[in-house]
Amino acid sequence: MTETVSGSAPITVVGHPFAPIGMGEVLRSVVRSLRAAHVPVVVLDVFGSTNADPGLRAEFEPILAERVGAGASIFCINGDEIEPILAHLGARAGCGRRIVCPMWELSQYPDAWARHLERFDEVWAGSAFIRDALGASVRVPVQHLPLAVQPSPPPPLGRRAFGIPEAAFAFLTFFDLTSYIERKNPHAALEAFRRALASRPDLELCFVAKMNSGSARADDRERFLEYARSIGDRLVLLDRTMPDAEVKALHLCSDAFVSLHRSEGYGLGLAEAMFFGRPAIGTAYGGNVDFMTPDTSILLDHTLVPVAEGAYPHGAGQVWAEADVEQAAASMVRLADNPVAGRDLGASASRRMRTYFSHRAAGLRYAAQIAATRDEPAVRQAGALVSGASRADRERSFVYAHSRLAVAAAEIVAARHGNIEDVLAPLRGMSLDEFGSLLIGMPDMEFPGLSRVLPAMADAEIQRDWTGNAGIPLLRQTLGFVRSVALRSAEITGKPLTGRRILDFGCGYGRILRLMYYFTPPDRTFGVDPWDRSIEICTAARLPSHLAVSDYLPRSLPVGDRRFGLIYAFSVLTHTSERATRQALSVLRHYVEPDGLLALTIRPREYWEQLADFGRAVDARRMLADHDAKGFAFAPHDRPAIEGDVTYGDTSITLDWLVANAAGWRVAGYDHSLEDPLQVIAYLTPASAVSAKP
């Protein structure tokens, strides 16, 4: 298997890429997420498939592998599959770091399966519900890494293709008769629909039930059909296996999704419906509460009851949820009575799914976790050699061990009084992570030459005052932003960051500016900040960038006539008033190159809910109302006024507001930020030519 440019072998994802089952969906989600984050990946189809969806074959066959490669591997299989699959693969299972990503639907995980999971180095849980179940049973690390849900645009199939009445308000539900009908509990959804129909016979409603493998459990199928006769011709039964694209099209042909499940490991049907902007009604129990919130969905009250004997494997002694059927019926009536409100709810759901559960958002989480855990064994080795060293020192020792030649070469150049660009040249042969780890450790008595030439890092107290974090954990968070910006800059502008002139608008103590030396010479980097203390700290640390104090309401910037290939404003417009935000966007437009990029972070509406949860003195209800009505909400801090206005506080902005108000800019894309789950990176490009100076 070939090595990637970064020196890391591709990730091998193992499982059932072509299977029309839940674990097949899990594998496909993981692979698509890694690829969206530009992580090289190949797929090992455990048993091979002879009857696969043509679209899936076209997508996955080009990246099929015969064995697990030298890099990490992710097994998307369940606990009961592990022993036979590892036996089947034999030596093809590889010997590198192994991760397993199982699914589970009850609150307690079977002990026998837990022991099988312990044959892996790490377990990934696709929901907090699964994490809690596994964490209580498994003796290896369990990480909560939410699955992505980002369906491809479905084919243009209309309601006629599924036999759904054109004028009816259609409620959709999914269930699989091979996955135990008692857990999915379609009878309860059907009963809620029957009650809704009885209470409002004037409403034109229909109930669309998609069953999978109906012939597998004939008794269950007949029992459901017998129960369904109570709603007569209001039932649309789709009793067949559908291609993946057709299932997605079915969501768009429905008005709402309903699931009165007793338990869910994740809740893919609910998640996909929300992605497509359909209001979702679901039991407030299981993995679905990761993405279903009271303001983006309809969550049903429930009571916990014992799992009936034989109702689910390993269910003895366990409990699951009975949803409030009457509440579900009332919710159905409410949606059918007010479809406009339902569409608004669906739009909020779609925004949430596309922001936090996109392939790219999940892929960045996966990439960060793989990078962190890949280092741990080596960190322990290095720590054994550095008596009494701190964790940061041990991690830097790991970096140096893997970059000895680059660091040694740079130290020689520095000792010979080379300039900083000569010193940086060999260091750029390291990975970005290693480069950042070296810089965060400056000064370092082990490298006196580098300590003399490279800028000193701000002390931990300053780091915490600015960000609430410090050291290696803060570096790892910052790297997520820098990687995203570097990748998107190349994608959007068609040019890599290498050698481009870069401006840090609101540079703080320069933590991001330092990492830009990886891409471009320091004399092509600029940092401005309206707080003179920021520039003092950067200057005292000997940052070799061009640094200057700017205005809080700038009409120009202290950078001369220069234009920039990249301007970024990290955690700046998350704190500015509407006037200050408009002013910043206007002035920055005059300093970007025609093929340049502006990357800025913004807060979504969920930010206000978190502030309220943390006890911050803010009127969250008013801020949410402002955000929804105007696309911009601002809660000023107790600061002196600037030209008659307080310009600093807490801010949330929608992408729609940027589209409408960022004059001269075009919104080119956005990313989820690993720096802060409640920050979104927006990318803007020039929309028209302007003069070089305002």
SS (H, E, C) 75-103: ECCCHHHHHHHHHHHHHHHCCCCEEECCC
* Mean predicted confidence (pLDDT) in 610-637: 81
541-559 pLDDT tens trace: 999 999 999 999 999 999 9
pLDDT at 461: 83
User: Which region among 251-265, 391-405, 606-620 has the lowest average model confidence (pLDDT)?
Assistant: 391-405
In a domain, 250, yes or no: yes
Same domain for 482 and 567, yes or no, is yes
Q: Does the pLDDT at position 489 exceed 80?
A: yes
Same domain for 134 and 23, yes or no, is yes
User: What's the mean pLDDT when you consider all of the chain?
Assistant: 87
Number of domains in the chain: 3
Exposure pattern of 7-29 as b/e (b: 16+ CB <10 Å)? ebbbbbbbbbbbbbebbbbbbbb
180 φ/ψ sector (left φ>0, alpha ψ -120 to 50, else beta): left
In a domain, 334, yes or no: yes
In a domain, 560, yes or no: yes
Categorize the per-residue pLDDT at 1 as very low, low, confident or very high, splitting at 50, 70 and 90. Answer: very low
pLDDT at 193: 97
For residues 419 and 378, the model is more confident at 419
Same domain for 342 and 201, yes or no, is yes
- Looking up residue 519, the CATH number of its domain turns out to be 3.40.50.150
For residues 585 and 94, the model is more confident at 585
Same domain for 66 and 188, yes or no, is no
pLDDT at 396: 41
* Mean predicted confidence (pLDDT) in 384-407: 43
* Mean predicted confidence (pLDDT) in 213-227: 74
- Cα-based distances in Å from 436 to 18, 395, 424, 463, 641: 40, 12, 12, 15, 37
User: Which residue matches tokens 């902005």?
Assistant: 653
In a domain, 220, yes or no: yes
User: Which region among 215-224, 264-273, 483-492, 680-689 has the lowest average model confidence (pLDDT)?
Assistant: 215-224
Picking from 301, 334, 354, the residue at the C-terminal end of a domain is 354
| Distance separating alpha carbons of residues 58 and 52, to the nearest angstrom | 10
Q: Are 114 and 138 in contact (CB under 8 A)?
A: yes
In a domain, 452, yes or no: no
Same domain for 179 and 134, yes or no, is no
* Mean predicted confidence (pLDDT) in 659-680: 81
Picking from 116, 144, 172, the residue at the C-terminal end of a domain is 144
Q: Does the pLDDT at position 477 exceed 80?
A: no
User: Which residue matches tokens 């299977």?
Assistant: 19
Task: Locate 619 and state its tokens.
Answer: 């009127």
- Whole domain around residue 221: which residue ranges? 159-354
Cross-strand partners of 15: 45
Same domain for 139 and 177, yes or no, is no
* Mean predicted confidence (pLDDT) in 92-116: 93
For residues 211 and 503, the model is more confident at 503
Same domain for 288 and 338, yes or no, is yes
Q: What is the pairing mode between strands 302-306 and 41-45?
A: unpaired
| Distance separating alpha carbons of residues 144 and 132, to the nearest angstrom | 9
Task: Locate 138 and state its tokens.
Answer: 């498994």
Q: Is the pTM of this model over 0.85?
A: no
- Looking up residue 119, the CATH number of its domain turns out to be 3.40.50.11930
Instruction: Report residue 559 CA to chain centroid gap.
Output: 36
Q: Does the pLDDT at position 37 exceed 80?
A: yes
* Cβ within 8 Å of residue 480, ≥6 positions away: 364, 368, 673, 674, 675
User: Which residue matches tokens 């307690």?
Assistant: 108
User: Which region among 28-42, 205-219, 419-433 has the lowest average model confidence (pLDDT)?
Assistant: 205-219
Q: Are 131 and 144 in contact (CB under 8 A)?
A: yes
500-531 pLDDT tens trace: 999 999 999 999 999 999 999 999 999 999 99
CA atoms lying within 13 Å on the CB side of residue 8? 22
For residues 257 and 610, the model is more confident at 257
In a domain, 369, yes or no: no
In a domain, 407, yes or no: no
Picking from 90, 116, 144, the residue at the C-terminal end of a domain is 144
pLDDT at 548: 97
Q: Does the pLDDT at position 299 exceed 70?
A: yes
Same domain for 116 and 216, yes or no, is no
CA atoms lying within 13 Å on the CB side of residue 79? 23
229-288 pLDDT tens trace: 889 899 999 988 888 889 999 999 999 999 999 999 999 999 999 999 999 999 999 999
Tell me phi and psi for residue 134, to 5 degrees.
-75, -40
Same domain for 176 and 92, yes or no, is no
Q: Is the Cα torsion angle 642, 645, 650, 653 positive or negative in sign?
A: negative
pLDDT at 176: 80
Same domain for 281 and 219, yes or no, is yes
Same domain for 187 and 245, yes or no, is yes
| Distance separating alpha carbons of residues 609 and 30, to the nearest angstrom | 29
User: Which region among 211-220, 344-353, 479-488 has the lowest average model confidence (pLDDT)?
Assistant: 211-220
Q: Does the pLDDT at position 630 exceed 60?
A: yes
Same domain for 166 and 126, yes or no, is no
Is the preceding peptide bond at 443 cis, omega within 30 degrees of 0?
yes
In a domain, 605, yes or no: yes
pLDDT at 380: 23
- Looking up residue 258, the CATH number of its domain turns out to be 3.40.50.2000
